[in-house]
């Protein structure tokens, strides 16, 4: 059972480089989310997609863009990476109002 | 503005002891209160959840206590074990809105053998 799959698991970027984090879920969930986790800050919502074709900003959207490619896939793009974006990124999915299922995370370092 | 406040930030307990983590919320529209458990290198996973129609929910050694009037809820881990060592997040969401959960900042629990 794959659940929520994120790629890559690790990435090192230089300031100004761009990259895309990929996320796919196989649970037929409507909602998908991108969070970042930083020490002492908990999980902060970057963007979410309540259903295929819709995306909305979360708490910390600046510097990021997202694409809900289809019901299964939700990608997060950093157009010009900054050191402040060094973090662990988690993708999650859910049915409305229920449990969130998380991926194992993507650890990004921006030098 | 932090909508869900979680304490303590870290907790050290001896094996067999009781671990207690507290959360307080402000938005009275919240009606779903889950707790997530996260082991190092892994994503969070749902541990236990409660809705405000009950004041307590127990699953094995884990209990959520909910106080609607005080807008507080807590996680109690009875007979804590070294395998319980993890980071715990409380969360809250509102069914009347978009169900987007708001997370507390997390509690790092260490259970000493």
* A59 phi-psi bin (left φ>0, alpha ψ -120 to 50, beta other): alpha
Kindly report the average pLDDT of chain B as a whole number: 93
Residues of A in contact with B34 (CB under 8 A): 99-100
Concatenating the DSSP letter of every residue in B31-79 gives -BEEEEEE-TTS--EEEEEE-TT-SEEEETTEEEEEETTTTEEEEEESS
Does the pLDDT value for residue B2 go beyond 70?
A: no
Interface A-B: count of C-beta contacts within 8 A: 52
**A10, pLDDT greater than 60:** yes
Question: Are B44 and A102 spatial neighbours (Cβ–Cβ below 8 Å)?
Answer: yes
Which residue of chain B has the CA closest to A98? B99
pLDDT tens-digit series, residues A58-82 = 999 999 999 998 999 999 999 999 9
Instruction: Taking residues A80-106, report their average pLDDT.
Output: 92
Partner-chain contact B41 A104, CB within 8 Å: yes
The pLDDT of residue A2 is above 90: no
Pairwise CB contact (< 8 Å): A97 & B93: yes
Provide the pLDDT for residue A37: 96
End-to-end, the C-alpha distance of chain B in Å comes to 38
Q: Which two tokens stand for residue B49?
A: 């959840």
pLDDT confidence bin for A34, thresholds 50/70/90: very high
User: In whole numbers, what is the pLDDT of chain A averaged over residues?
Assistant: 94
User: What is residue B111's predicted lDDT score, i.e. its pLDDT?
Assistant: 98
- Check residue A41 and give its pLDDT: 87
The whole-number pLDDT of residue B95 equals 77
Chain A nearest-CA distance from B59, in A, is 16
Q: Cβ contacts of residue B103 below 8 Å, gap of 6+? A: A42, A43, A44, B4, B36, B89, B90, B91
B94–A contact, CB cutoff 8 A: no
- How many of the other CB atoms lie within 10 Å of CB of A90? 25
Place of tokens 């994503």: B43
The answer to whether B100 contacts A103, with C-beta atoms less than 8 Å apart, is no
């Amino acid at each position: 059972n794959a659940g929520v799959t994120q790629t890559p698991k690790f990435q090192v970027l230089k300031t100004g480089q761009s990259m895309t984090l990929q996320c796919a879920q196989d649970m037929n969930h409507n909602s998908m989310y991108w969070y970042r986790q930083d020490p002492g800050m908990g999980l902060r919502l970057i963007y979410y997609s309540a259903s295929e074709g819709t995306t909305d900003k979360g708490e910390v959207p600046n510097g990021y863009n997202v694409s809900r490619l289809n019901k299964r896939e939700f990608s997060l793009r950093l157009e010009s990476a900054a050191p402040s974006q060094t973090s662990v990124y988690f993708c999650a999915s859910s049915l409305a109002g229920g449990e969130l299922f998380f991926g194992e995370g993507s650890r990004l370092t921006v030098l | 503005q932090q909508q869900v406040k979680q304490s303590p930030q870290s907790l050290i307990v001896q094996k067999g002891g009781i671990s207690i983590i507290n959360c307080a919320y402000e938005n009275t529209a919240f009606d779903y209160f889950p707790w997530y458990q996260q082991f190092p290198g892994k994503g969070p996973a749902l541990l236990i959840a409660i809705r405000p129609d009950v004041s307590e929910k127990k699953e094995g050694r884990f209990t959520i206590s909910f106080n609607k009037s005080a807008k507080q809820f807590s996680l109690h881990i009875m007979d804590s074990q070294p395998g319980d060592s993890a980071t715990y997040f409380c969360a809250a969401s509102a069914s009347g809105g978009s169900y987007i959960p708001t997370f507390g900042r997390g509690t790092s629990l260490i259970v000493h053998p």
